[in-house]
Structure 1
Amino acid sequence: MITDTLFDITKASESRIADVDLDAPGFGREFADHMLEMEYRDGQWQQPEIKPFGSIEITPALNALHYAQSVFEGTKAYYVDGSTINLFRVQKNYERMARSCERMCIPTIEKDIFIEGIKELIRLDHQWVPEKEGNTLYIRPFACAFDPIISARVAEQYRFYIITSPVGSYYERPVKLTTTQQYVRAVKGGVGAAKTAGNYAASLYPAQQAKKEGFDQVLWLDAEEHTYVEEVGTMNIFFVIDGVLVTPSLRGTILPGVTRDSIIELAKHWDMPVEERRISIEEVMQAGKDDKLEEVFGAGTAAVVAPVEEVHHDGQSVTFDIDGRGPVGQKFYKAITDIQYGKAEDPFDWIASVKID
């Protein structure tokens, strides 16, 4: 065991990387050699440990399994060269996880543990970062209740983990979206702005129904009036209407995406007209009919910028004859990925580079 100022480190005796095709890893199916684990007990977080990736033993009475007191994050590592791996805006991921923890009554993890833990895992498992452009190492920090008690109350014990996974593209083609008048993702006063497991579980059934109808994801509307666009199940949403970039404003029911924020910052940097505001689905559909809806795209860590080829609502569709990103979406995609892969200057100080010995 190697002792570090922040972490106890136990290295894997043998790497599993020879069994993985990093050029075609899929998404979330393969995992790198090491993980971080930290326990919360007796009112404080204990010494974090980095150890070989593997199964964890739990009781069927585990609190998190019954009451979903669980939060997570998602970020990526990008191969630059043999000595450098880039991380993108991990500070924003930490800040969002801290807010999610507070909302779900989970003790906040220290920033140094979160950020330095990611960096240390990258140093140990840097060979797992795919060199093929477009493929990355997905990083999944998560925390959950760990009481061995079936009781609907705030837990006293927790676990924090970071695991990593080589991944390819999340969407292989433009996506088709449909609204639903029957289901909602989040309500005011709820947990829509937190990255918590229950949000995603609740969205699975409507998404499954959408897929049966030939769509890829649900374009969620607000819970009160079923009128205003909020987000997609796996990403935030952007519209280009008559030359203006428009995205729904954050009102506590939308996840504040890191990629979303990056696109808005880039638009302002370029003096591109951008509006964060309430936008009704009727406005979107009418803009489509009037040929003013120039592009629609989603934005998220997994997808980066995903083009939308159809928006369906109440029996009507707006479609785009595309086989890839439109010019605006492509401009954002290229700008973000060029910064991520170290191909362009980073005027925003978004990148944290990890040096490999």
Structure 2
Amino acid sequence: MFDIKTELTTNPKEKPAPEELGFGHFFSDHMFILDYTDGVGWHDPRIVPYQPISLDPSAMIFHYGQSVFEGLKAYVTVDNDALLFRADQNFKRLNRSNERLCIPAIDEELALEGLKQLVTVDRDWIPNNPGTSLYIRPFIIATEPNLGVHPSKKYHFIIIMSPSGSYYKEGINPVKILVEEQFVRAVKGGTGEAKTGGNYASALKGQEIASREGYAQTLWLDGKENKYIEEVGSMNIFFKINGIVITPALNGSILPGITRDSMIQVLKFKGIPVEERQISIDEVVEAHQNGTLEEVFGTGTAAVISPVGELKYLDDKMSINKGEIGEISQMLYDTLTGLQYGSIDDTFGWTIRL
């Protein structure tokens, strides 16, 4: 259906040992590239050896930040197949980000086919130790050499892949989170619901403050009233209060996480009450004070679930579930990873086997 040219490397890299992997340090032998030129559209899909890219110093990405990206994974299943999890949703979300950043939409079917072929070419780069995976980073950058402030007329769409170690090497240990009081991650009407680099750059200051105080991540509040909960670090956030799982409703400044959506669907499938609505930090504090704050957890591609054992807001340190992973968090983690590694039957139709 698509004519994707493939150039195989003549100098394959030595693969790192599983214990050396970490996250984002090593890259597979090949990458997928698709170019955009105004008047031509997206063209020349190809798989080539992993290599540096050459850009003019005036390329618009360097000056006006026109870029979007995605993050997903490939897994080795229990029967040794390669598996992608909800990859079609990543490319749908990429196009929503494109719309916000004035980047031309990609053909989602072509992007998915390019990814499938790239994973097939670099199949041996998917680690198979427990908890490991091949992290996949599709991204688009503006490449037109021009200092005028307008949408670029040229772009690269590139997919690179990185073997990643187990996120939880010694079991899932709940983390400590600091509620940020001064800075905000994004505001409604801004780019918060797009997956673009600037959102992550603006979050670095809060992360720096949290780390300095001994906390793993920042809990972000809304940019208008500084009271409603939005995200935690680069993850979506969930609270179990009095038997009901609550997550902030998508409001234009919150990234619509694919893991978030997966969790909501699993909760509904299991018959567990779940609500998407506005939730304030004051409501969380009150629930902690009256004993109904039962679990807190973040969700995202890298960790799947990151349980929260402590929240600090102002001078109040809130211990959650005695600092242990909760029953719902464990169930969701087991279910999602079971689907991703093929040990649970996929009744949702979320996986692609290669």
Deviation at 1:347, TM superposition (A): 1.0
**Alpha-carbon distance in 2 for matches of 1:75, 1:322:** 32
CA RMSD for the aligned pairs? 1.5
Alpha-carbon spacing, 1:336–1:100, altered in 2? closer, same or farther (3 Å): same
1:50 to 34, 47, 52: 47
Structure 2 partner of 1:93 = 90
Deviates more, 1:320-329 or 1:269-278: 320-329
**Alpha-carbon distance in 2 for matches of 1:316, 1:323:** 16
Deviation at 1:169, TM superposition (A): 3.7
1:286 aligns with 2:283: no
Contact 1:23 1:132 in 2 (8 A): no
**Alpha-carbon distance in 1 for matches of 2:88, 2:15:** 33
Q: Which runs of 5+ in 1 are unaligned?
A: none
Contact 1:143 1:159 in 2 (8 A): yes
- Note the 1:130-141 alignment, pairs <5 A: 130-141=127-138
Deviation at 1:23, TM superposition (A): 4.1
CA deviation string 1:251-300 (max 9, x = no partner): 11100000100000011101101111111101111111222111111000
Q: Specify the code of the residue in structure 2 equivalent to 1:334.
A: D
- Note the 1:54-73 alignment, pairs <5 A: 54-73=51-70
Contact 2:15 2:125 in 1 (8 A): no
Structure 2 partner of 1:150 = 147
Structure 2 partner of 1:219 = 219
How many residues end up aligned between the 2 structures?
350
Structure 2 partner of 1:329 = 329
Alpha-carbon spacing, 1:23–1:353, altered in 2? closer, same or farther (3 Å): farther
1:80 aligns with 2:77: yes
Alpha-carbon spacing, 1:82–1:11, altered in 2? closer, same or farther (3 Å): farther
Alpha-carbon spacing, 1:66–1:169, altered in 2? closer, same or farther (3 Å): farther
**Alpha-carbon distance in 2 for matches of 1:68, 1:21:** 36
Partner SS state of residue 328, structure 2? helix
In the superposition, the TM-score normalised over structure 2's length comes to: 0.95
Structure 2 partner of 1:129 = 126
Deviation at 1:97, TM superposition (A): 0.4
In the superposition, the TM-score normalised over structure 1's length comes to: 0.94
Partner SS state of residue 48, structure 1? strand
- Note the 1:120-199 alignment, pairs <5 A: 120-170=117-167, 173-199=173-199
- Structure 1 runs (4+) deviating above 3 angstroms are 169-173, 320-324
Structure 2 partner of 1:238 = 238
**Alpha-carbon distance in 1 for matches of 2:10, 2:323:** 46
Deviation at 1:202, TM superposition (A): 0.7
Contact 2:176 2:311 in 1 (8 A): yes
**Alpha-carbon distance in 1 for matches of 2:133, 2:62:** 30
Contact 1:6 1:113 in 2 (8 A): no
Contact 1:22 1:128 in 2 (8 A): no
Contact 1:138 1:167 in 2 (8 A): yes
Partner SS state of residue 211, structure 1? helix
Partner SS state of residue 46, structure 1? strand
Deviation at 1:303, TM superposition (A): 1.3
Q: Specify the code of the residue in structure 1 equivalent to 2:206.
A: P
Contact 2:203 2:233 in 1 (8 A): yes
**Alpha-carbon distance in 1 for matches of 2:35, 2:64:** 19
Deviation at 1:179, TM superposition (A): 1.5
Contact 2:310 2:323 in 1 (8 A): no
Q: Among all aligned residue pairs of Structure 1 and Structure 2, give the percentage whose two residues are the same amino acid.
A: 45
1:28 aligns with 2:1: no
Partner SS state of residue 337, structure 2? helix
Structure 1 partner of 2:315 = 315
Structure 2 partner of 1:254 = 254
Contact 2:134 2:163 in 1 (8 A): yes
CA deviation string 1:123-142 (max 9, x = no partner): 01111101012110000000
